[in-house]
């Protein structure tokens, strides 16, 4: 089981959280101008790296707030967690 640190509540078991997929996927700035390919990219395509991955989690049975986690998908190591208004630690988006 993953031990994830909520930025507001501290470290809690994975079962307190809900997974939200890749972080830092902005809604298109001008949706009306998007091609079908660009819509497909936004709706269906996400990164799937073997290694560090910035992802969203929600503390669903705690403070119910969303935040981001940087986690290694190969080792399951939770590298860090940070608020939605903070950039990904170490850059790379």
Partner 1 sequence: MTAEALPEHPDFLWRNPDPKRSYDVVIVGAGGHGLATAYYLAKNHGITNVAVLEKGWLAGGNMARNTTIIRSNYLWDESAAIYEHALKLWEGLPEELDYDFLFSQRGVLNLAHTLQDVREGVRRVNANRLNGVDAEWLEPDEVAKVCPILNVSSRTRYPVLGATFQPRAGIAKHDHVAWALARRADELGVDLIQGCEVTGFLKDGDRVVGVDTNRGRIHAGRVGLAAAGHSSVLAERAGVRLPVQSHPLQALVSELHEPVHPTVVMSNHVHVYVSQAHKGELVMGAGVDSYNGYGQRGSFHVIEQQMAAAVELFPIFARAHVLRTWGGIVDVTPDASPIIGSTPVAGLYVNCGWGTGGFKATPAAGWTFAHTVATGEPHPLNAPFALDRFTTGALIDEHGAAAVAH
Contacting positions for partner 1 (CB under 8 A): 1-2, 14-15, 18-19, 21, 36-37, 39-40, 43-46, 48-50, 53, 55, 71, 73-76
Minimum distance from CB of 46 to partner 1 (Å)?
Answer: 6
Q: Quote the least distance from Cβ 63 to partner 1, whole Å.
A: 19
Residue with tokens 């009306």: 32
Structural Rg of the chain based on CA atoms? 15
Nearest CA to 9 out of 55, 56, 61, 53 is that of: 61
Quick one: 8 or 19, whose CB is closer to partner 1?
Answer: 19
């Amino acid at each position: 089981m993953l031990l994830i640190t909520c930025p507001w509540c501290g470290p809690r078991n994975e079962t307190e959280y809900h997974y939200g997929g890749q972080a830092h996927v902005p809604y298109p700035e001008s949706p009306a101008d998007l091609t079908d390919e660009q819509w497909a990219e936004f709706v269906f395509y996400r990164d799937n790296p073997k290694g560090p991955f910035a992802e969203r989690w929600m503390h669903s049975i705690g403070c119910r707030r969303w935040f981001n986690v940087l986690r290694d998908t190969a080792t399951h190591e939770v590298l860090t967690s940070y608020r939605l208004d903070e950039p990904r630690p170490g850059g790379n988006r």
